[in-house]
Structure 1
Amino acid sequence: MPTELDIIFLILSIAGFIIGMLGNVFIGLVNCSEWVKNQDFSLADFIFTGLTISRISQLFMSLFESLEMVSPLHLHLTYKLSKIITLFWRITNHFATWLATCLSIFYLLKIAHFSHSLFLWLKLRMNRVLLTILVFSLFFLILDFLLLETFNDFFLKVYMIDKNNMTTYIEESKAVFVKTLALLSLTCLFPIVLSLISLLLLFLSLGRHIRNLQLNSMGSRDSSTEAHKRAINRVLSFLFLFLVHLFSTQLANWVFVMLWNNKFTKFVLLAVYVFPSGHPIILILGNSKLRQKALKVLWHLKSSLKRENLLQLYR
Structure 2
Amino acid sequence: MLAGLDIIFLTLSTAEFIIGMLGNAFIGLVNCSEWVKNRKISLADFILICLAISRIAQLLVSWFESFMMGLSPLFFSTYKLAKSITLLWRITHHLATWFSTCLSIFYLLKIAQFSHSLFLWLRWRMNRVVLAILVFSLFFLLFDFLMLETFNDLFSNVDAMDESNLTLYIYESKTFYVKTLILLSFSYIIPIILSLTSLLLLFLSLVKHIRNLQLNSMGSRDSSTQAHKKAIKMVMSFLFLFTVHFFSIQLSNWMFFLFWNKKITKFIMLAVYVFPSSHSLILILGNSKLRQTALKVLWHLKSSLKREKPNSSLPIDFPESFQ
Match of 2:16 in 1: 16
Q: Aligned pair 1:310/2:310, yes or no?
A: yes
- Of all paired residues, the percent bearing the same amino acid is 71
CA distance in 2, matches of 1:246, 1:293: 31
Does the CA contact (< 8 Å) of 1:234 and 1:282 recur in 2?
A: yes
Deviation at residue 189 of structure 1 after TM alignment: 1.4
Q: Deviations over 1:127-184 (max 9, x none)?
A: 1111111111111111111111122134323444577655443334433322211111
Match of 2:203 in 1: 203
Letter in 2 for 1:76: F
CA distance in 1, matches of 2:306, 2:56: 32
Deviation at residue 311 of structure 1 after TM alignment: 9.5
Match of 1:76 in 2: 75
Letter in 1 for 2:41: F
Q: Identify which range, 29-38 or 61-70, moves more after superposition.
A: 61-70
Q: Aligned pair 1:269/2:269, yes or no?
A: yes
CA distance in 2, matches of 1:267, 1:300: 37
Q: Identify which range, 95-104 or 268-277, moves more after superposition.
A: 268-277
Letter in 1 for 2:110: K
Change (3 A) 1:157 1:4: closer
Give the number of aligned pairs: 311
Match of 1:177 in 2: 177
Q: Identify which range, 155-164 or 127-136, moves more after superposition.
A: 155-164
Change (3 A) 1:157 1:267: closer
Q: Identify which range, 20-29 or 215-224, moves more after superposition.
A: 215-224
- What pairs up with 1:125-164 in 2 under 5 angstroms? 125-161=125-161
Deviation at residue 70 of structure 1 after TM alignment: 3.6
Change (3 A) 1:142 1:225: closer
- Cα RMSD over matched residues? 2.8
- What pairs up with 1:60-71 in 2 under 5 angstroms? 60-71=60-71
Unaligned runs of 5+ in 1: none
Letter in 1 for 2:305: L
Q: Identify which range, 286-295 or 42-51, moves more after superposition.
A: 42-51
Change (3 A) 1:46 1:135: same
Q: Identify which range, 167-176 or 115-124, moves more after superposition.
A: 167-176
Q: TM-score, normalised by structure 1?
A: 0.86
Does the CA contact (< 8 Å) of 2:68 and 2:75 recur in 1?
A: no
Change (3 A) 1:167 1:195: same
CA distance in 1, matches of 2:206, 2:264: 38
Does the CA contact (< 8 Å) of 2:104 and 2:198 recur in 1?
A: yes
Does the CA contact (< 8 Å) of 1:61 and 1:89 recur in 2?
A: yes
State the secondary structure of the residue aligned to 2:115: coil
Q: TM-score, normalised by structure 2?
A: 0.84
Deviation at residue 76 of structure 1 after TM alignment: 2.1
Letter in 2 for 1:246: F
Change (3 A) 1:215 1:23: farther
CA distance in 1, matches of 2:29, 2:69: 32
Q: Identify which range, 189-198 or 207-216, moves more after superposition.
A: 207-216
